[in-house]
């Protein structure tokens, strides 16, 4: 609003005839004095208004508009989630697939390590060394008994019913 007042003052000044107007004399007493601000001569008065006695009238259509806005917002949110859900599911599945690949790689490395460990533990040189430390010896040929199973089933395990 203050800029409109400035515009009106300019319009009035331009409409006045220039003949009888003399330029105001400027006193150069203080070179650091600020010039007047625009619209400095305008004073605004405020009057306090007390609306405590007023009672707000109920709007019968206001509740319906509110519920309509809530329903539209909910519908928009559901549609947005419906659009975003497949992409989110693909991203989550990709992360899960990547973690399964890493787990598979770790398990293959562990299997290889365990196979190498088993091979070193079952090496014949190591087994002979353990047999020597525990005073174990290979059986003599006389100590070996070869079983000759008969066809009569005497060697079979009989379970009693």
Q: Cα–Cα–Cα angle for 56, 61, 65, nearest 5°?
A: 110
131: tokens are: 């047999």
SS3 121: helix
How far is 95 from 97, CA to CA, in rounded Å?
A: 5
Cβ–Cβ under 8 Å, residues 39 and 2: yes
How far is 135 from 133, CA to CA, in rounded Å?
A: 6
Q: Which residues of 19-46 are buried (b: 16+ CB within 10 A; e: fewer)?
A: eeeeeeeeeeeeeeeeeeeeeeeeeeee
Closest CA to 67 of 77, 79, 75: 75
How far is 33 from 47, CA to CA, in rounded Å?
A: 34
- 86-128, pLDDT tens digit by residue? 999 999 999 999 999 999 999 999 999 999 999 999 999 999 8
67: tokens are: 């519920």
What is the pLDDT tens value at each position of the chain, 161 positions in all? 556 555 556 656 655 555 555 666 655 677 788 888 888 888 888 899 998 888 888 888 888 889 999 999 999 999 999 999 999 999 999 999 999 999 999 999 999 999 999 999 999 999 989 998 998 888 888 888 877 666 666 655 555 65
């Amino acid at each position: 609003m203050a800029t409109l007042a400035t515009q009106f003052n300019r319009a009035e000044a331009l409409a006045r005839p220039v003949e009888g107007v003399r330029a105001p004399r400027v006193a150069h007493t203080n070179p650091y004095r600020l010039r007047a601000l625009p619209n400095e001569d305008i004073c605004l008065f405020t009057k306090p208004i007390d609306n405590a006695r007023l009672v707000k009238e109920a709007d019968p259509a206001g509740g319906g508009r509110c519920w309509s806005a809530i329903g539209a917002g909910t519908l928009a949110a559901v549609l947005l989630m419906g659009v975003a859900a497949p992409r989110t599911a693909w991203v989550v599945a990709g992360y899960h697939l990547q973690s399964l690949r890493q787990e598979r790689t770790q398990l293959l490395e562990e299997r290889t390590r365990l196979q190498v460990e088993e091979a070193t533990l079952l090496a014949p040189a190591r087994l002979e060394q353990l047999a020597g430390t525990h005073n174990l010896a290979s059986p003599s040929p006389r100590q070996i008994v070869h079983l000759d199973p008969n066809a009569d089933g005497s060697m079979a395990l009989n379970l009693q019913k």
